[in-house]
Structure 1
Amino acid sequence: MTDLARLVSDIAAEMAACSERGTVASYIPPLARIDPRQFGLCVVLADGTVHQAGDSEQPFSIQSVSKVFALTQALGKIGDALWRRVGREPSGTPFNSIVQLEREQGIPRNPFINAGALVVADVNLAGHAPKLAIGELLRFVRYLADDETIVIDEAVARAEQETGFRNIALANYMRAFGNIRHAPELTLGVYFHQCAIAMSCRQLAMAGRFLMQGGSHGRQAARVVSPQRARRINALMLTCGHYDASGDFAFRVGLPGKSGVGGGILAIAPGKASIAVWSPGLNANGNSMLGTLALERLAEATGWSVFAPSGQA
């Protein structure tokens, strides 16, 4: 039986001692100022037990991890009709690439690359002013985490609006194909603000519990999504959640996961745990360098990989 409390503490200590920590996301000014020496890890088990270590209570910009929650919300609004506007295949290209959109007539490969997330934001905007759409997503995340203190970092949102030229280009390009249906600046406003949601590792791991528990909310009887939809969101996280390094993450860690350039990763061990890790330094693919290593250590020690033989954990 794994001593999980000790394991989490040991992993945090190992990560604190690492000299190679990657590079913070310098193209978003507030993220460029984050101390790369920080590291946090939180594991929430199916029985509600929480194990955490390091800077696990420090809020950080979750960035693309927000795409998991926005996707869940969009599927709740229009169901499988979403898949007529965005695909479900790994992209094999960087998260902000425009190359495939021309060849594939403005249909993004999956909802976790930036182009796909913009389509999801466009779906979530339907029938709302941007401010209302943003508030709806924030309330949803607070509900999932059982935490009303979660906020949007307005300084990060402003910086993204001022520097997000590639995302602006993606939105306008898809608008030309009719796959962005609102004024691009409105859809972009929703997207930039969702990426600026600030959460700690503990809050993020709590928010991911519904994917660990077959779509159920925490220990309550309330259902967030059906078991089938939870399984499919996990499948997309496994195959597409780390951009053009998704295959490597599956190879090394073997868990559904979604990364963000703020250095956070949400990982799910179905039926066992919801895990959040944060270390601001990124590798060449834009994923947390130490966060990925920490999850590899955790999966090895617990046997939680979805590819592990039944009963190994």
Structure 2
Amino acid sequence: MAKSVLSTSALRTIVTEIAAEMAASEDRGNVAAYIPELACIDPHRFALAIVTPEGEVIAAGDADMPFSIQSVSKAFTLAVALGQMGEALWTRVGREPSGDPFNSIVQLEHEQGIPRNPFINAGAIAVTDAILSGYEPREAIAHILEFIRYTAGDDEILIDENVARSEEATGFRNAALANFMRDFGNVTCEPAMTLGVYYHQCAVVMSARQLAMAGRFLAFDGCLRPGGSRVISGRMARQINALMLTCGHYDGSGEFAFRVGLPGKSGVGGGILAVAPGRASIGCWSPGLNAVGNSKLASLALEMLADRTGWSVFAPH
């Protein structure tokens, strides 16, 4: 049921109650043990942070604890690539849900090396390659990090080199994806260089508070606040939101849209960036994952939040 605009105190109560319910949960999912640096994260951590149009942050739990954002970074690199290439980017990557695991190579063969969407691994690698085509690898990494810092308003955001190295040491499937696309001409740089940039973007470390701040431009039609500094065009922001709603949770995207009804992008570090257009940017984190690789408790918390606020994009406003 849609609700009128919530007061700050009412929203703070909702956030506090959800965090308390998540803290009491015993079924927390499993951490991403296949990446060694993520295997040791405490599954009892939980954080929820919301940024309102007025710029107020309402947070609960471990909202200031940094974590590896992993594939949440794909929303930011997509914004960078669209700003760099515009609509030409869509000749290299599709806009449809995949229905397959995030690191699947099957569809690439059927579709001549064009990934189904920018949020599966193959699609994100192609997007990273598009960014890299205008830079040296170190410059591309710095450009992506600078963009994330700008959107978050925080120059302290860093990349965890240990996580990047851990991913590179175990990323054999990603190497296969990159080389497969290179064979079709959809990766134009040296695959090892493209993958190096990709692993570093996934190793960006942020807190839920910083993540919610960084997502403001998606919540407010390309601006850091309503009527504020523009980051990307409103059209691009709406395109990214549409893809987050339909493809942001891999082959759990339909379930997330069904239960939560908000554009969102997940990562195997347990983070989710969600967007209530015109209303809020939301960062949520719990490291335990469900069967399809999305945070179990963060997904549940966002379902509760959408229900209690009436923020679902499918609710009448």
TM-score bracket for this pair, using the shorter chain length: over 0.9
CA distance in 1, matches of 2:46, 2:191: 36
Question: Could you say which residue in structure 2 is the equivalent of 1:276?
Answer: 283
The answer (yes or no) to whether the contact 1:215–1:229 under 8 Å persists in 2 is yes
1:79 pairs, out of 83, 86, 94, with 86
1:19 pairs, out of 8, 15, 26, with 26
Question: Could you say which residue in structure 2 is the equivalent of 1:159?
Answer: 166
Question: Could you say which residue in structure 1 is the equivalent of 2:3?
Answer: none
Alpha-carbon deviations, 1:182-235, whole Å to 9, x = none? Answer: 010000000000000000000000000001111012467321111111111100
The answer (yes or no) to whether the contact 1:48–1:219 under 8 Å persists in 2 is no
Q: Does 1:110 align with 2:123?
A: no
CA distance in 2, matches of 1:65, 1:302: 24
If the length of structure 1 is used for normalisation, what is the TM-score? 0.98
Question: Could you say which residue in structure 1 is the equivalent of 2:195?
Answer: 188
If the length of structure 2 is used for normalisation, what is the TM-score? 0.96
Unaligned runs of 5+ in 1: none
The answer (yes or no) to whether the contact 2:54–2:225 under 8 Å persists in 1 is no
CA distance in 2, matches of 1:197, 1:226: 24
CA distance in 2, matches of 1:5, 1:59: 22
Identity %: 66
Q: Secondary structure of 1:266's match?
A: strand
Question: Could you say which residue in structure 1 is the equivalent of 2:273?
Answer: 266
Question: Could you say which residue in structure 2 is the equivalent of 1:61?
Answer: 68
1:1-313 aligned at under 5 Å gives the runs 1=6, 3-218=10-225, 221-310=228-317
- CA-atom RMSD in angstroms: 0.9
Greater than 6 Å deviation, 4+ residue runs: none
Alpha-carbon deviations, 1:79-128, whole Å to 9, x = none? Answer: 01010010000000010000000000000000000000000000110121
Amino acid in the other structure paired with 1:45: T
The change in CA–CA distance for 1:219 and 1:272 in structure 2 (over 3 A counts) is closer
CA distance in 1, matches of 2:203, 2:225: 24
Q: Secondary structure of 1:51's match?
A: strand
Give the number of equivalent residue pairs: 310
CA distance in 1, matches of 2:158, 2:25: 31
Unaligned runs of 5+ in 2: 1-5
